[in-house]
Structure 1
Amino acid sequence: MISNVQLDVERINRKFKDIEERRNTIIKGTRDATILCSKAIVSIHSHKKNESIENIDKAKKLLQQFKKMGKDDLQRYLYIAEQEFVEASSLFSLVENSSIPSMKTLEVSDISYVMGLLDCIGEIKRMIIDKIRIEGTSNVHSLFELMDKIYGIIYPLAVYDNLMPGLRKKLDVSRILIENVRAIITEEKRRSIMIEKIQEFEKRINTLSENTKGK
């Protein structure tokens, strides 16, 4: 009378046991991939090219492995690691003066691609601040334009926040970062102009002083 029920429940049990085992493996593995990408980002900022390449490649292999394991039912557990991978890969491309890789090239989901690019805006800000600290504002304008363009291209997707949870929040954070950088660059320019004027004034004073002594 209940033989069919018994068979179906056993089948359901096997199905969910398989899902649970794959889920646990993916969660642990993607955590490792996320750590590798974080290390790659640190290496990029430290100008350790080979180290960053190695970590990005390792992360990519892990993600490819777990993407297959995730099949169609567990892909969402890859999102965080994929976002970090997109962020690291995009940042590396920018440092190498290359085009940002496509979603197809990186083999990530559309949600991960968009979120990872927005996260990259924060890393571009860090690059800009480091450059200003060392070189001044002369070489930061292209980077600032880039972070603004990334934001501008992605912004129309804000209407799909219900399908990409957290997108609007990341856009808001990115906008704040961009405005912060704009303010920093503007203030640094004003400071540089003021320093130049002070130096020019000091030169005039010194010249007048020398002329007075000569008389």
Structure 2
Amino acid sequence: MMKPRITDDIKKDFRRTIEEIIRRLNRRDLRREEIIRRSREIIRCSGRLTAQIVSEGYSDANDILNRLRECEKNVIELLNYYEEDPDLVRGGVSLQAFIEFCEASYLAHILYGSESLCNLNKKMPEEAIILGILDATGELKRMAINALGRFDIDDAEDMLNLMREIYNILSGTDYPDPLVPGYKHKIDVLRRNIEDLEALLSDMKTRKRIIDLFYEKSDLDNFSNT
């Protein structure tokens, strides 16, 4: 049996390799901490913007768009990290940050007609864009319900039609969780939201017809009594 020869050169080789790995891992760990910090900031600012966009009566478009662009600065930095070290950015809290930013961006696009800050040209991960759009449809349902509360049936129907359009495009697709996390569940949620909103809208239209008939009859009775 051959006896190992642990020479000084072998020891130096191990030392050089291990020290270089430690340097690289330390750099990646610092980068990871910065990625987490920026991701959390994006999630905070995007969540606040989404809540304000959807909230009843909030109509200061310039304020929303300016704050969305401020939030975008952290997104751009995160995308730069994505190009340098995609494994650190592709999932987890970073993916959630991209999704929430896309959700807020698309809601602003729908309400104010502004250019979406979340698109393929900006090197946003594809799964973040599609999941952000799906999350935005949940807020569309909430906005449609608010519109129905104001008896604004046309606005509610416009939002429902957009939800249907998105569902019709995506319903024939099926991506596994490793590729697009939670995709099938979000498609199912969208379908249920459409069905719920269709039922609410149908009920509201029926109520409106009854109210309109009541006022028509009241007008006729008043006319007959004059």
Which residue number corresponds to residue 78 of structure 1?
A: 94
Whichever structure has more helix as a proportion of its residues is 1
Instruction: Find 1:21's aligned residue among 5, 19, 30.
Output: 30
Contact 2:109 2:115 in 1 (8 A): yes
CA distance 1:37–1:102, shift in 2 (3 Å) = closer
Which structure 2 segments of 5+ residues have no match? 1-9
- Report sequence identity in percent: 25
Cα RMSD between the aligned structures? 2.1
AA aligned to 2:11 is I
Which residue number corresponds to residue 76 of structure 2?
A: 64
* Cα distance, 1:204 vs structure 2: 4.3
SS in 2 for 1:108: coil
AA aligned to 2:202 is T
- Whether 1:40 aligns to 2:49 is yes
Contact 2:134 2:187 in 1 (8 A): yes
Contact 1:67 1:78 in 2 (8 A): no
Which residue number corresponds to residue 89 of structure 1?
A: 105
Which structure 1 segments of 5+ residues have no match? none
TM-score by length of 1: 0.87
Which residue number corresponds to residue 136 of structure 1?
A: 152
* Cα distance, 1:62 vs structure 2: 0.5
Contact 2:160 2:197 in 1 (8 A): yes
After superposition, the C-alpha distances for 1:107-148 in whole angstroms (9 at most, x for unaligned) are 310010010000010111122122222242133322211111
Which residue number corresponds to residue 8 of structure 1?
A: 17
**Equivalent residues in 2 for 1:1-215 (5 A)?**
1-45=10-54, 46-70=58-82, 71=84, 72-76=86-90, 77-97=93-113, 103-206=119-222, 210=225
Counterpart CA distance in 2 for 1:31 and 1:127 is 26
Counterpart CA distance in 1 for 2:33 and 2:170 is 33
TM-score by length of 2: 0.83
Length, aligned pairs only: 210
Contact 2:144 2:159 in 1 (8 A): yes
